[in-house]
Structure 1
Amino acid sequence: MFRKYFKLDFWFWVKAVVLILMLAFLIYPFATLITRSFFSKKEEGLTLVNYIRFFSKKYYYSALGRSLFVSVVAMITTLIIGVPMAYIMSRFNIYGKKYVHILIIMSLMSPPFIGAYSWIMLFGRAGLVTKFFENNFDVILPSIYGKLGIILVFTFKLFPYVYLYTQGAIGSIDSSLEEAAENLGSNKFRRLLTITLPVILPSIAAGAIMVFMTSLADFGTPMLIGEGYMVLPVLVYNEYMSELGGNAHLASALSVIVVLCSLSVLLLQKYYVSRKNYVMTAMRPPAEIKLKGGKRFLLSLPVYIVAFIGVLPQIVVIVSSFMKTDFTGFVGGFSLDNYETIIRRLGTNIKNTFMFSTVAIIIIIVLGLLISYIIVRKRGIVAQIMDLLIMFPYVIPGAVLGISLIVAFNKRPMLLTGTAVIMIIAFVVRKLPYTVRSGSAFLQQMDKSVEEASINLGVSPMKTFFKVTSRLMLPGILSGAILSWITCINELSSSIMLYGGRTSTISVAIYTEVVRNSYGTAAALATILTVSTVISLLIFLRLSKGKVSIV
């Protein structure tokens, strides 16, 4: 009877284990963070003093205003660049379209702080371009530091979100809609404004929200290039890691405010999309317009320029990694000194990055397989809860997740702070959604009859899953896992909060080397990440057959 009502089969235990893991490493840490925000060292019992302090002192609430400002402006600038890029790439025969598309994706895959670091090397006070103009033309270029620098980095780093979402939507439009408008006398520009853009607006909004949330949550870029332009993630870090002992309670309250801002924007976007949802057959996608000669070149040129600026950070770090440096910066000439230095001095960081990421990816693949199957094939209240919880890390900035894990696991019997275990947990929690979404999308396209045939032949559901279904799901799972791997090796926001002396990663080392003005070693470390990212991305494109899916 007990078995009948509670279905104590294999999937019951899988659901139970997954929910326990989510409870332990996602819900419990964040609940602890919220609870901590209502306490204070100066007052006993529950109190709102931390929130009152935030909203009453300009130093704190102005940081929120700055975060919202750079995020909104970055969202607008990426729309200005990303939407036209997507339209041109989708509708016209741009020269080398396939390779331009790969370059755009590459610019998205590297972490934003590498972009900030690259712009510093080019246009910082001792930057290559700055020194060139100063020494040869006696011209002082405008400063790259501050809010304009942050917006510049965000724009050319994050416009691929808008581009990829918009391009996918444009490719799914049924051409009969535009043909009908044209037959009714509408010119091409009016048709674009009244038919094409309104139909794809939900997808454009989804890309814009990804830009907003990524900008709002980013720590590395404003920390490196902000120079006093205090935004909320940096304020959270400073409050928690203060040399005077820090204020974990206030940092917790700031973290809750960041999450509430992200969650509010995400819910608004979902509400908007639910009201503006269009369904089309997409049986007749628009035909590519064939241009020739000068017209084709003139339309290809701005696409090339934007794509080049997008990948410029990777080019800069690779070239700079071979340049000789001293305490004044780059001094010219090429050598392997920077690589010899990092292998000798920072080899542990390199080893940690790939070891932690490898362990995390193994866990992500196993959990991704199981959770994807539950969400798609075992629909019900438990599956809905998992689907909701698995997306929660997208709302939680990395620094906030780091603080929540520290607050939750900074005392016995679960004293994990500063260990490799907590770093791996952070990687899994933050990056698992990529694999789950990819696996779910792949499984939805699979015919159930394959599994049903195996079960009808006497194979148990559990064996059917491991011998048949999981093998068929593997390409989709591996595609998502490679994206998870790329983001794991590049992770900074949570790592900077969680690392200890023996668990520092490449991203943390790059940040500390830039702060120490050791640009050569930072470039060599960034090159290792860039090359690893490119190789992983090429494997991903091969597995996904060139189709990139963003959650």
Structure 2
Amino acid sequence: MKRVAVFWLVVGVIGWALLPWYLTQNGFWRFGWLTDMSGTNASALGAALHDKPWLWLPVLGFVGAALSLGLARTQLAMARGLFASGTAGLALLMGQALLIGTRFGLWEADNPGIGAGAFVTASALLFIATTGVSGLGKGRGDAFVTGLVGAIVALVAIFVFFPLTFILVRAFELKGGAGLGFSEFLPRFFSSTIWGIGCITGGGSCGPAVNSFLLGLSTAAGTTFMGLMFALIFTRTDFRAKKLLRVLTVLPIITPPFVIGLALILLFGRAGTITEFFSWAFGWEKTRWLYGFHGVWLAQMLSFTPIAFLVLIGVVEGVSPSMEEASQTLDANRWQTFRYISFPLMRPGLANAFLLGFIESIADFGNPLVLGGNFNVLSTEIYFAIVGTIADPAQAAILSITLLTFTLSAFLAQRFWVGKKNYATVTGKGDSGRHAALNPVLRWTAYLVALPWAFFTMVLYALILFGSFVKLWGYDHTFTFEHYLRGFKIVVRNGVHFTGAAWDSYFTTLTISAIAAPLTAAVGLATAYLLVRQKFTGKNAFEFSTMLSFAIPGTVIGVAYIMAFNFPPIELTGTGLILIIVFIFRNMPVGVRGGIAAMSQLDKSLDEASIMLGANSATTLRRVILPLMGPAILAALTYSFVRAITSVSAVIFLVSARHNMATSFIVGRVENGEYGIAIAYASVLIVTMLTVIIAMQLVIGRRTLRRADRVEAH
């Protein structure tokens, strides 16, 4: 404990005394502040000596920590002193940042947004406090565990709860700005315009809440079933084209949102290719069936089945063959083995896949916007309440709370179904068996469900690629490279010049996504490790809080970030950092759920054996658990990288001229009717993401769980 506390004390003092306390004008990583450490480039020490005496306050935390380390006679007294000093210093830092010279301020002063120095100082004070907590016996006395809990709680509080507060508090506003109260919230929350059930009773249409709920259940059930069928084909059959099938299962998730909807319209819309064919061949009436529940559900099935597959493949693969062999030794047939042994052990994965599918569906914005028609859902209603002709932030907030209600209900139902049973099958013992083959009925069911779906996906993407090489998809099919040249032209004259209109946003998108993806996976898997392997007070509330940013539509997240981070103490709007942060906390729940599903299968005896041999929690996590988490790590990296590139709703309000994203560029082209360049850009993004995913698969590799795998690998 003492060694860890001394380390963070030194780091904190360096951050306070040497690093720029406020945001630097030209960016921290350009290091221009090293040659001019004045003004906003000054450290807290320099600013405190000059004209900002309140910056001495955080030092009191370091002084208290130093006194505790030097004067405390017992470990318990030292732990209490470290906890009190770190907490007090952090409170003083936050107090001066919030209350001096800001919109919350009680005192007027020049106190700009915090920078690298303040971040390092706050982190050091936080970890000094959590080190003290470990010394008090919490978290098994492990400073790594308590520090990890403290870091994730702080990050979620700042980048999830803090911005969402600016939106949700609007739900309780009284008319005329008369303050806050429940008198208008409850009638508006339970209004029939939100919860109407006319589509069920036959009295008209349903409200957006009921529509979202029914759509969410349908999509979650469909994607979980489809993901399981694909996972069974990959792990339990000798299907020869598995590599091609793997590419087809991932394709929909690496597609910008509007592209699938546009492709479906051009195929199944009233003037679509397939609609026209059936009208000509069979005399079928042309209808608008695609616009509404059926079309949105079909698009969401295409978009979100890969998420279920990525979660389930690791879980299905992790079921121990020894248990299946024991079942067959006791005279059970293959169907009974699957039903009573394999399937129950997949329950964590199925529950997490269903939860993710449900949340993705109700928070989806792009597909309902393109294909919804008169089928109103919560996400689009929130968008129009914010940017519509008559903006109504209070209504948007009420609809957001409705979404949170659904998320909490799904979360509790998932916890109830999974329960507290043990699903561990990877115990560290030698296991040379092979998975039991599927019985013929189940195998052919998987084939008949998954393979036609994969073929449909392949046709859809072939048409998307085709659309990028014709002048105007659906009308003028003259072959041309014009769209690619406009977007990605390269001129080699006195050097290489990227003159295409899309290059700037393309490079920016790849840079931000490459930074955000590993950070997202790290935060998500670290959270999963705490939830599965550690016990601490408030664990259930902590788990639910990690799902909040995933449940709220990206539009709301974007607006909330603008409202929260456009002013001191945290000024991020217009920077690339705000895009990285929104991607991390928007996408981390997939890493959390995938990590929980995979880690639930790793027996805790692996951790115990490692700790008994002298390893601490950090070493156990790095050397024992992570090597067995290959599929979960790949899923988290893949999903976070792809979503950072393809996200629209969360970034549409956060991009700037300096940091423009690919999806923002594509949406702009679509609004101008330039479908060709938009589809060409989408095709380039798809190829780029496929290349990166394959590279990540090669780097991470395939986990080896049993001796048979090692034999095959050699």
TM above 0.5, one fold?
Answer: yes
Equivalent residues in 2 for 1:49-448, closer than 5 Å: 49-58=184-193, 62-110=207-255, 112-130=257-275, 141-143=286-288, 144-171=290-317, 172=319, 174-176=323-325, 178-179=327-328, 182-183=331-332, 193=339, 196-244=342-390, 246-274=391-419, 277-280=422-425, 283=431, 284-288=433-437, 300=447, 303-325=450-472, 329-343=474-488, 344-361=500-517, 364=520, 389-411=545-567, 414=570, 416-417=572-573, 419-433=575-589
Counterpart in the other structure of 1:523: 679
In the TM superposition, what whole-angstrom CA distance separates every residue of 1:412-452 from its partner, at most 9, and x where no partner exists? 55454455443232112223455678899799978996999
In the TM superposition, what whole-angstrom CA distance separates every residue of 1:28-61 from its partner, at most 9, and x where no partner exists? 1123333222114535111332442242242675
Q: CA deviation at 1:251?
A: 1.1
In the TM superposition, what whole-angstrom CA distance separates every residue of 1:382-425 from its partner, at most 9, and x where no partner exists? 99987665454334442332233233234555454455443232
Q: CA deviation at 1:342?
A: 3.3
Larger CA deviation: 95-104 vs 146-155: 95-104
How has the CA–CA distance of structure 1 residues 154 and 14 changed in structure 2, closer, same or farther, with 3 Å as cutoff? closer
Q: State the alpha-carbon separation in 2 of the partners of residues 365 and 224 from structure 1.
A: 30
Q: Which runs of 5+ in 1 are unaligned?
A: 456-460
Q: State the alpha-carbon separation in 2 of the partners of residues 313 and 533 from structure 1.
A: 18
- Give the AA of the match of 2:435: P
Larger CA deviation: 20-29 vs 511-520: 511-520
- Give the AA of the match of 1:175: E
Q: State the alpha-carbon separation in 2 of the partners of residues 137 and 391 from structure 1.
A: 48
How has the CA–CA distance of structure 1 residues 452 and 488 changed in structure 2, closer, same or farther, with 3 Å as cutoff? farther
Q: CA deviation at 1:96?
A: 2.0
- Give the AA of the match of 1:2: S
Q: CA deviation at 1:78?
A: 3.1
Q: State the alpha-carbon separation in 1 of the partners of residues 625 and 426 from structure 2.
A: 30
Q: State the alpha-carbon separation in 1 of the partners of residues 547 and 310 from structure 2.
A: 20
Q: State the alpha-carbon separation in 2 of the partners of residues 242 and 299 from structure 1.
A: 45
How has the CA–CA distance of structure 1 residues 448 and 510 changed in structure 2, closer, same or farther, with 3 Å as cutoff? farther
Answer 1 or 2: higher relative contact order, Cα 8 Å, separation at least 6: 1
How has the CA–CA distance of structure 1 residues 180 and 34 changed in structure 2, closer, same or farther, with 3 Å as cutoff? farther
Q: State the alpha-carbon separation in 2 of the partners of residues 359 and 533 from structure 1.
A: 15
Counterpart in the other structure of 2:113: none
- Give the AA of the match of 1:408: A
Q: 1:486 aligns with which of 631, 642, 647?
A: 642
Q: State the alpha-carbon separation in 1 of the partners of residues 384 and 631 from structure 2.
A: 40
- Give the AA of the match of 1:247: D
Counterpart in the other structure of 1:38: 172
Q: CA RMSD in A?
A: 4.6
Q: CA deviation at 1:134?
A: 5.9
How has the CA–CA distance of structure 1 residues 258 and 15 changed in structure 2, closer, same or farther, with 3 Å as cutoff? closer
Alignment partner of 1:498: what SS? coil
Contact 1:218–1:493 under 8 Å retained in 2: no
Q: CA deviation at 1:233?
A: 0.4
Alignment partner of 2:516: what SS? helix
Larger CA deviation: 169-178 vs 469-478: 469-478
- Give the AA of the match of 1:207: A
How has the CA–CA distance of structure 1 residues 393 and 451 changed in structure 2, closer, same or farther, with 3 Å as cutoff? farther
Contact 1:237–1:497 under 8 Å retained in 2: no
Q: CA deviation at 1:175?
A: 1.1
In the TM superposition, what whole-angstrom CA distance separates every residue of 1:297-335 from its partner, at most 9, and x where no partner exists? 997565432222234443332221111128xx5411221
Find out whether 1:22 has 2:156 as its counterpart. Answer: yes
How has the CA–CA distance of structure 1 residues 249 and 547 changed in structure 2, closer, same or farther, with 3 Å as cutoff? farther
Alignment partner of 2:353: what SS? helix
Q: CA deviation at 1:219?
A: 0.5
Q: State the alpha-carbon separation in 2 of the partners of residues 59 and 130 from structure 1.
A: 34
Q: CA deviation at 1:239?
A: 0.3
How has the CA–CA distance of structure 1 residues 151 and 137 changed in structure 2, closer, same or farther, with 3 Å as cutoff? same
Q: CA deviation at 1:98?
A: 4.0
Alignment partner of 1:496: what SS? coil
- Give the AA of the match of 2:324: S
Contact 1:451–1:469 under 8 Å retained in 2: no
Q: State the alpha-carbon separation in 2 of the partners of residues 486 and 543 from structure 1.
A: 17
- Give the AA of the match of 1:35: V
Q: CA deviation at 1:547?
A: 6.2
Alignment partner of 2:555: what SS? helix
Contact 2:328–2:337 under 8 Å retained in 1: no
Alignment partner of 1:42: what SS? helix
- Give the AA of the match of 2:371: I
TM-score between both structures, scaled by the size of structure 1: 0.79
Counterpart in the other structure of 1:458: none
Contact 2:383–2:555 under 8 Å retained in 1: yes
Contact 2:251–2:686 under 8 Å retained in 1: no
Structure with larger Rg:
2
Q: State the alpha-carbon separation in 2 of the partners of residues 412 and 425 from structure 1.
A: 17
Q: CA deviation at 1:66?
A: 0.8
Q: State the alpha-carbon separation in 1 of the partners of residues 612 and 480 from structure 2.
A: 58
Q: State the alpha-carbon separation in 2 of the partners of residues 437 and 53 from structure 1.
A: 33
In the TM superposition, what whole-angstrom CA distance separates every residue of 1:189-225 from its partner, at most 9, and x where no partner exists? 5665555545544432332222111111110110011
Paired residues in the alignment total: 533
Q: CA deviation at 1:177?
A: 5.6
Contact 1:82–1:159 under 8 Å retained in 2: yes
Counterpart in the other structure of 2:652: 496
